[in-house]
Amino acid sequence: MELPSFFADENIPFELIQWVKQRGLSISSIVEEQLFGIDDIDIIHKAYGERKIILTQDSDFGQIIFTQKVPFFVIIYLRPGHFNGSFHTATFEAILKNLAEVHENMIIIGQRKDNKIKVRIRHL
């Protein structure tokens, strides 16, 4: 399976972005593109237009797509939020292993509690 590029929200730690790059995956970020302060809805539009998977720790993206019916490509939401990058590497790896195909309008939630990882994939 060939994954599209990823776009990291500003809450994704640099070390996780580097980990993704070290696996040969394409990822850019708000920091790299100097888009500080960009609204979440603008991130959704940008990623949709570029066919990039949004990588975030922010639940607001789900709220926006459900309440405002905004077209989107794919969103990966890492829970719990606001942890360092190394905490999420195992979760992200589990997501990649469970992701057979990428389809437009997918929300993927990766949740880690202690050493247990749960991946949920929703097709909207």
Which token pair is 37?
């302060």
Q: Measured on CA atoms in the order 59, 63, 66, 68, is the torsion positive or negative? A: negative
> Where does residue 72 rank: exposed (0-12), middle (13-18), buried (19+ CB within 10 A)?
buried
Does the structure show a pLDDT above 60 at 120? Answer: yes
Q: For the chain, which residues make up each domain, given as ranges?
A: 6-11+23-123
What pLDDT does residue 101 have? 79
13-32 tens-digit pLDDT? 999 999 999 999 999 999 99
Q: What is the average per-residue pLDDT within 57-68?
A: 92
Mean pLDDT of the chain, nearest integer: 91
What pLDDT does residue 112 have? 92
66-92 tens-digit pLDDT? 999 899 999 999 998 767 778 899 999
Does the structure show a pLDDT above 80 at 99? Answer: no
* Pick from 54, 72, 63: nearest CA to 12: 54
For 27-62, b/e burial (b = at least 16 CB within 10 A) is bbbbeeeeeeeeebeebbebbbeeebbbbbbbeebb
